[in-house]
A = this chain, B = another copy of it.
Amino acid sequence: MESKIAVTALSALAQENRLDVFRLLVQAGAPGLPAGQIAERLGIAAPTLSFHLAQLKHAGLVHQRRDGRSLIYATNYDGMNALMSFLTENCCAGDRAGCGVPVCEPQSARLVRRKSKGARS
């Protein structure tokens, strides 16, 4: 990850409404939520929410899929993890042992990974 991309991701999260949206989606997990439901739960006007969702999407933190008339948004765990890894890169003067790389993915993906590679540190 490059610095400018990280700034885009951090800017996307650095706003109260968007941070709320993101955390709601992180908690919702893989199934995600339709825009209307996000708007309702968080009390955000539709055009405002649309603007914020576009930012999160552009930053690679969420992705969008259509289901009939609804647009469903869900966390992009890869984007989120890339950001966290970038922030902790070369942490503690290059001595990384013990500085666990942040990981958060849908459970199914985690189980697959756990079987195939050793992962973290």
Chain A positions near chain B (C-beta within 8 angstroms) = 3-4, 6-7, 10-11, 13-16, 19-20, 22-23, 26-30, 80, 84, 87-95, 97-107, 110, 114, 120
**A92 partner residues in chain B, CB cutoff 8 A:** 26, 29-30, 104-107
- State the number of copies, please: 2
> What is the CA–CA distance of A101 and B19 in the complex, to the nearest angstrom?
18
Contact (Cβ within 8 A) B89 A23: yes
Task: List 21 A–B pairs whose Cβ atoms lie within 8 Å, in order of A's numbering.
Answer: A3-B16, A3-B23, A4-B16, A7-B14, A10-B10, A10-B14, A13-B14, A14-B14, A23-B89, A26-B92, A27-B91, A27-B93, A29-B93, A88-B104, A92-B105, A92-B106, A98-B114, A99-B103, A100-B100, A100-B102, A102-B102
> What is the CA–CA distance of A91 and B23 in the complex, to the nearest angstrom?
8
Contact (Cβ within 8 A) B3 A87: no
Contact (Cβ within 8 A) B100 A103: yes
> What is the CA–CA distance of A57 and B114 in the complex, to the nearest angstrom?
38
**A89 partner residues in chain B, CB cutoff 8 A:** 23, 26-27
Would you give the shortest CB distance from A9 to chain B, in whole angstroms?
Answer: 8
**A16 partner residues in chain B, CB cutoff 8 A:** 3-4, 7
